[in-house]
Amino acid sequence: MAKVDSRWRELAPRLLSILRVVAAFLFMQHGAQKLFGFLGGIPGGTPLFFTQTWIAGALEFFGGLLLLFGLFTSPVAFILSGMMAWAYFQVHAPRGFWTLRDGGNGGELAAFYCFVFLYMSAAGGGPWSLDSIRRRGKI
């Protein structure tokens, strides 16, 4: 059992990279929906430049793109974590305490992304990232 546990722990850095890529890909869709009308867009159409919704979409899409490649992972993830905390407390928390969409405030994704990105801001992008390549001096 110790051998299985040891092997599983060895996979942790690569799993961090996979978590980063999957979370970034999913997060980028929210930005693409706001900025480009992707996947049905948002009510009211694409937002005007430099409105709060446009800025959120730009951070979601382009911040997500940086995370997808693992470039500047720690500062970008920290900014996105703060953005999601802001979104949660501005939009979702006033609707009630519970986060589930039906009968709740609908903020489970905002809370989840906030803490996933906070973790990434501390852990970095993992070995399969441009940050890792840059640290090794290859870029």
pTM of the model: 0.91
Question: Within a domain: residue 8?
Answer: no
Task: Determine the distance from the C-alpha atom of residue 38 to the mean position of all C-alpha atoms in its chain, rounded to a whole number.
Answer: 18
d(CA 119, CA 18): 14
Question: Within a domain: residue 6?
Answer: no
Q: Which amino acid is at 137?
A: G
Dmax over CA atoms of the chain, in Å, equals 57
- Give the pLDDT confidence score for residue 89 in this predicted structure: 96
Q: What is the pLDDT along the chain (139 residues), one digit of tens a residue?
A: 777 788 889 999 999 999 999 999 999 999 999 999 988 888 888 999 999 999 999 999 999 999 999 999 999 999 999 999 999 999 999 999 888 867 789 999 999 999 999 999 999 999 999 999 999 886 6
The tally of domains found in the chain comes to 1
* Interacting residues of 75 by C-beta distance below 8 A, sequence separation 6+: 121
Question: Within a domain: residue 60?
Answer: yes
Question: Within a domain: residue 70?
Answer: yes
- Give the pLDDT confidence score for residue 101 in this predicted structure: 67
* Full domain range(s) for residue 101: 15-38+47-135
